[in-house]
Chains A and B, each alone.
Chain A
Amino acid sequence: MARTLMSGNEAAARGAWEAGVAVGVGYPGTPSTEVLENLVRYDGVACEWAPNEKVAAEVAGGVSLGGARVLVTMKHVGLNVASDVLYTQAYTGVTGGLVYLVADDPGMHSSQNEQDTRNHAVGAHVPILEPADSAEAREHVIAAFELSERFDTPVIVRMTTRVSHGKSLVTGADRVEAERREYVKEPRKYVMMPGFARNRQPALEQRLHELRAWGDEASLNRAEYRDASLGIITSGIPYQYVREALPEASVLKLGLTYPLPEGLILEFTSKVDRVAVVEELGPYLGLRLRSLGIPLLETDLQAFGELSPARVAVAFGARAPETREPVQGLPPRPPLLCPGCPHRGVFHALGALRAVVTGDIGCYTLGASPPLNAMDSCVCMGASVGMAHGMALSGFADRPVVAVIGDSTFAHSGMTGLLHMSYTGSTGTVVILDNRTTAMTGRQGNPLSGTAIGDVDAPAADLEALARALGAASVRTVDPHDLHTTRTVLEEEISTAHLSVVIAKAPCALLVRSEVDPYAVDEELCTKCAACVRLGCPAISRDENGRAVIETSICVGCGQCVQVCRYDAIVRVGPSCDLGGA
């Protein structure tokens, strides 16, 4: 195969396929999502989106137990959900190769926190690899399968946003079919109850000891000797910044960062005058190298946010590049809900009802921004449901409290929260924003949407029946584009003395190609009241006289603004010109 430009995620998928992986399973999460979306395109691999990362990891554990190779993918916070599985899989070990691809998001481009997955590797006692570009993403995934089977352990491949979504050149190879390894019944290895689990701990220690020695010789770890006055120990994407910022420095580039190849590290540090660590997030390498007694140069590289070549250069005494003066007074450009987004109708109603809204993870988190300002909390997947219940327990009763959660997020971890509400006699209200997809990560199917990975049809769970079965006394479905009904139903359900679920059901604006004409504002009728502007639709603005203006090329004709205009000033117009193109 010729050298091809691939993202790190494409290359990781390629590596898994070449390594003979039989199954790929995961939950979508930026920046990891495209790994499975690419893997599903290869023949001979069964891929699945699981409802959450824990289920994905359990499915992966079963594939491995059955003797086949399996890749399980998630973002950094997803591993928190799956960690319960991982920490004990480290005890059982594997039959077929078991590789976790976990993507961290330094800088929080699309995440609610920064986490360093290397800490999970240490906690779980499993090896972790850190590729630094696409070619290495492929190589490390292949190596991870070999390590997994050779050392009888799950292996983590830690990606970061710049590795996952950066593109660079990759030379692929053919797939090598991995023969299914025979499952042999062995309760002492696979049934982790205290008596058996205690006996697995020596194996776990022995494995780490052997991996440490393996790492001293492995090509994934590489000492590059140049000027001996400064030696940098680094891994992953920071390696690229070090090479760019400090081209003369000697570098120990670590591919395996747990367990650390201590022999190789001590050899490197003995050959250079001064040693420094350059790492993103952490401090991980820094702390562990200090615990080996290695004196490290102090730098002011922070443990938060992304690095860059200039940040590394400046940390080692170079001057930052000369820059232009930033242009002052520019309006910020936060991300926003799309034109025609059904979530807007729900947030408009909740705003009118002055509800406290416990929110969740998805596109609808953007409802927290002006002008809707319709969210009071966002913590993690599924948190909205439990938090709404807890807020009621706190005695807070100034305003109604409503939980808002997406369809995919409800399937991920909202269902158990709802069950808890019914079990404890809650009279709360949960709104499920059912837009028929997992939108933020790029429109993946989920158990409620009727689609599966690869855009194929799949059974859709009956959400109304599910909510009833979990104990909701009242389950009502509304069209969120119908603002009046949405508000009325919400108002009724908030005031009832039983547990309510309101399903706001309308497809994501990106799933449907609008077939209705857009709207425009009749200047004669517009009174400049700005009720439509307060919907926060990207198609609606005000002209210099304060009148509302609808940009017809952006409007998809959802009609929400028509319903908030009391002066009938918003009217349909003909379609805008659209001849198609790139």
Chain B
Amino acid sequence: MGVTSVVLAGVGGQGTILAGDVLAKVAVAEGHVVKLSEVHGMAQRGGSVDTVVRYGDVVFSPIVDPGTADHLIAFEAIEAARAVRLLRPGGRLVVNRRVVAPLPVLIGDAAVPGDLEETLLAEGAILLDAEALACEAGSPRSANVVLLGAASYGLPFLAETWRQVLSSRVPSHTVEANMRAFELGLTACAEGACAL
């Protein structure tokens, strides 16, 4: 088996690091060799952040080049558009519709492109609203887990493995809400994939 590369793209503070850690541990639990790369420090103060998870029989590089990622799970729409160049032709693109305006937009120095969603759809994106689904699950802060659920739709891992790893990473009283968030993300992605 070759190597599968998953990129989790978002804004510093959105929970991509936790999501990447869960995904990597799920792949380890299912017997894969795994490498993960992320960036700490200044970028985490609200900058663009990409976490890369690669798994397979033998994995060398922890990072991916443009045009080589198999899956891009974007936690935010502008970052989806920025990171889409990492995705290989035919790669799977899942995008949270949320837009987090960067500072140049907030202060009026730049604008969010009006056709952002059309652009992403043209790239083959499955769009979902992770914050709304997280609220529906009863845990507004679990949008990152909704997106993990959406990621899981295209990944070959067992539901039980996801549950085990997730349970070990979230506060015990939030396990059920997080599992609901995971399921809602999975379902939304499946429906989005059918609609394509």
Query: Which residues of A does B touch, CB under 8 Å?
Result: 3, 5, 30-31, 33-34, 109-110, 133, 161-162, 165-169, 237, 239-241, 243-244, 308-311, 320-327, 329-338, 363, 366, 369-371, 440-442, 530, 533-534, 536, 538, 540-542, 577-582
Contacts and interface: CB of A to CB of B under 8 A. Distances in A.
15 contacts: A5-B34, A34-B40, A308-B65, A322-B89, A323-B85, A327-B81, A332-B102, A334-B102, A335-B46, A336-B103, A337-B45, A338-B45, A536-B103, A582-B139, A582-B174
B117 to A, nearest CB: 12
A162 B62 contact: yes
B40 A30 contact: yes
Contacts of B121: none
Interface in B130-174: 134-135, 138-142, 144-145, 166, 169-171, 174
A581 B174 contact: yes
B25 interface: yes
A311 to B, nearest CB: 8
Which of the listed residues B60, B79, B82 has the most CB atoms from chain A within 10 Å of its own CB? B60
Nearest to B107: A371
B115 to A, nearest CB: 9
Q: How large is the interface on B (under 10, 10 to 19, 20 to 34, 35 or more residues)?
A: 35 or more
A91 B172 CA distance: 54
Contacts of A237: 62
A326 B105 CA distance: 20
A109 B103 contact: no
Contacts of A326: 85
State the main secondary structure of chain A at its contact with B.
loop
Contact of A335 (B12, B18, B181): B12
Given A239-B60, A333-B102, 9 more contacts: A33-B40, A133-B35, A167-B36, A309-B65, A322-B88, A324-B123, A330-B81, A580-B174, A582-B174
State the main secondary structure of chain B at its contact with A.
mixed
A549 B166 CA distance: 36
Contact of A322 (B11, B18, B59, B67): B67
Contacts of B111: 331
A310 B170 contact: no
Contact of A324 (B12, B61, B67): B67
A9 B93 CA distance: 31
A538 B46 contact: yes
Contacts of B141: 578-582
Which 4 pairs across A and B sit closest by C-beta, in order of nearness?
A: A110-B41, A30-B41, A581-B139, A321-B67
Interface string B95-128: 0000001111111111111000001000100000
A580 B45 CA distance: 21
